[in-house]
Amino acid sequence: MTISGSIFAAMLTPFNRDGSLSPEGVAPLVDYVLSKGVHGLYASGSSGESVLQSRDERATLLTELGDYARDKCTLIAHVGSASTREAVSLAKLAEQKGFHALSAVPPFYYKHSFSDIADYYKAIVDAADLPLIVYNIPILSGADIPTEKLLELLGDDRVAGIKFTAPDLFQFGELRNTRPDKSFYFGTDEMFLGAAAMGTDGGIGSTYNLIGDVYVGIQNAVAAGNIDEARQLQRKANHLISILLKTGVLPGLKHALNRLGVPVGPCREPFSPPSAESIKLLEDWMDKHGLTA
């Protein structure tokens, strides 16, 4: 089972000022992100604040996105949850709404055995006839799955690959070298060049919402053997990321998009608004690079 495209924005979720979900904000966000040349959208994941939403809110977002964008680009629905039942329900909905692939973080909060995790993924792929990307993000999920166990998950033909959001490029390379028939998407934005040089199949990242063209450029430059250009683009991305670490990555990205006239609203509590000092740094960076409304 294959997935079209290689550079996917880990889509933010639009909220209203009062913190309620904003279905009306989906279309403007989609249009802006796709204008940067990315190949698709990865919805309702970490960047989408999915763990701060109810199942019904996530379903509303997936419904709105599927209805608006399924014929515009590749859509990947992140359906991961602490509950297998909820993940399965969202997977079925994503298939109904025309998504092209699924993804799921391992079940979190409780410390599950690998057998439980494998059963969770099996239930998801049994629920919908769509390729699945395992979302490996141990720092947030708490599930640090060893290489040999990740390879076991890839043994299911319905598992298309892995979204690898970790700094371990050695493990990333070992996985890709062992299963070259699978797709591996790198999710640590500040190290994308390293993964691209090792032969990643693409990337899925939060900063792609704002500067997706930079990551398309890195991938193209590496493919063309233009490492100097790729380094310059990664430095550009990393300068932004260094500022976002001061604003808070998601609050900073939302502030930037709102400033551009893309109505994504605030982050949900307990996220706090960025400081005035960090906002000034972010806005100066945007002005320097021509990101103005």
Angle between helices 55-69 and 26-35 (to 10 degrees): 50
Counting Cα atoms < 13 Å in the Cβ hemisphere of 154 gives 23
Question: Would you call 288 a catalytic residue per the annotation?
Answer: no
Establish whether 32 is a catalytic residue. Answer: no
* Catalytic one of 42, 120, 121, 135: 135
Q: Say which amino acid occupies 213.
A: D
Q: What are the b/e assignments for 150-184, b being 16+ CB within 10 Å? A: bbebbeeebbbbbbbbbeebeebbebbeebeebbb
Residues 219, 198: contact at Cβ < 8 Å?
no
Per the residue annotation, which of 42, 121, 163, 185 is the catalytic one?
163
H-type alpha helices, 38-179: 55-69, 84-96, 114-127, 138-141, 147-153, 169-178
Enter the tokens of residue 38: 């990315």
First CA to last CA across the chain, in angstroms?
A: 40
Give me the active site residues, please: 135, 163
